[in-house]
Structure 1
Amino acid sequence: MKIESFWNALKLSTNPKLIFVCLGNICRSPFAQMKFEQLLQQSEVKRKHEFIIQSGGFIHQKDVRIHPMTERALLEEQIPIERIEQHFPRRLRKHKEDLLDATALIVMAQSHRDIQMPAKYRDKTILLSAIALDGKEIDIPDPALIENFEEYKQIMQKITDYLKTFIKLLEEKGF
């Protein structure tokens, strides 16, 4: 999805449905979902539009709820533990109705769009960085195997920065 198509799709949607997507839905995408929900609540955009915000992944996560460092990073972002505990990884291939209904599928890396995403949904897929950087695509690395929390948090901060820019652009565009 080109950046112009993304903004047009949002404008044409009464209740835009955005799904943040990564591989396992335990690190980047749930962080992005909950942080975006928080930022949206603090924004004028929330008063004008009712966004539907979800997250999902491509691989099956057995006996995993959310990555412990994602939980820690979300708590540091003042996301309530009750909200974090509501998250359970969703394998999007089992939720095709959500993929069909989505206004946009916001991925963290080009491989999510180009390899993991089924071809019929790629026309509504865009990288988070492309939204914040006017079409420029920069992958957000998978932090799942990072053991140092400060390094892990740097990736989550990049997601936060992109989301803040996204909210600012929504406000500037009159959403």
Structure 2
Amino acid sequence: MKPDEFWNLISNNDKIHIIFLCGGNICRSPFAEMKFEQLLADSKIKNKEKFIIQSGGFINQKDVRIHPFTEKALLEERILKDRIDQHFPRRMRKYKEDLINATALIVMTEGIRDIQLPLRYRDKAIFLSTLGISNKEVNIQDPAMIKEYQSYKIIMDQITSYLVHMIKKMEDLHI
């Protein structure tokens, strides 16, 4: 999906179902989901109730809820601990109905879009970066193996920056 198609869909739909996708749904996509919810709640967007915001991944996660650094970053963003605790990694192959019903699938990398996401849903896929600062497809690094929080947080800040610009564009479009 091209950015213009995305903005047209968002502007002309009574229901907007967005799913943020990453590899395992423990770092980037749950952060994007919860941060977007917060930004949406604080925004000038009028019809907030028309949004359904979710996240998911494609790698099977066992005995993992959310990456500890993601939790720390979300808490620093003033996301409530109760909200964070509601998150369980969703392996999207089990949630095909959500993929079918989604307005847009917002991906973090080309590997998620071109390899992990089943072909039949790729027309709904768009890079988070193209909805943010520029129209460039920027791969957002998977921070799961980063051992130092400050380096990890840089990636979460990158995601936040794209989300802030995304919300601003929605406000400018009077969604």
TM-score under structure 1 normalisation? Answer: 0.97
Equivalent positions of 1:10-159 (< 5 A) are 10-45=10-45, 47-49=46-48, 50-159=50-159
- DSSP 3-state at the match of 2:151: helix
* Contact 2:18/2:104 (<8 A) preserved: yes
In the alignment, structure 1 residue 169 sits paired with structure 2 residue 152: no
- The alpha carbon displacement at 1:12 in A equals 2.5
Once superposed, what is the RMSD of the aligned Cα atoms?
0.8
The answer to whether the 8 A contact 1:140-1:155 is kept is yes
CA distance in 2, matches of 1:174, 1:153: 31
Identity value in percent: 58
1:130-166: CA deviations, max 9, x gaps? 1113421101000000010000000000000000000
Structure 1 residue 58 displacement after superposition = 0.4
Say if 1:3 and 1:134, in contact at 8 Å, map to a contact too. no
SS for the counterpart of 1:147 is: coil
Q: Would you say the 8 A contact 1:32–1:159 is kept in 2?
A: yes
Q: Is the 8 A contact 2:66 2:87 kept in 1?
A: yes
In structure 2, list runs of 5 or more residues that go unmatched.
Answer: none
Q: Size of the alignment, in residue pairs?
A: 174
SS at 1:122 equivalent: helix
Is the 1:26–1:66 contact (alpha carbons within 8 Å) kept by the matching residues of 2?
yes
Give the drift of 1:4: 1.0
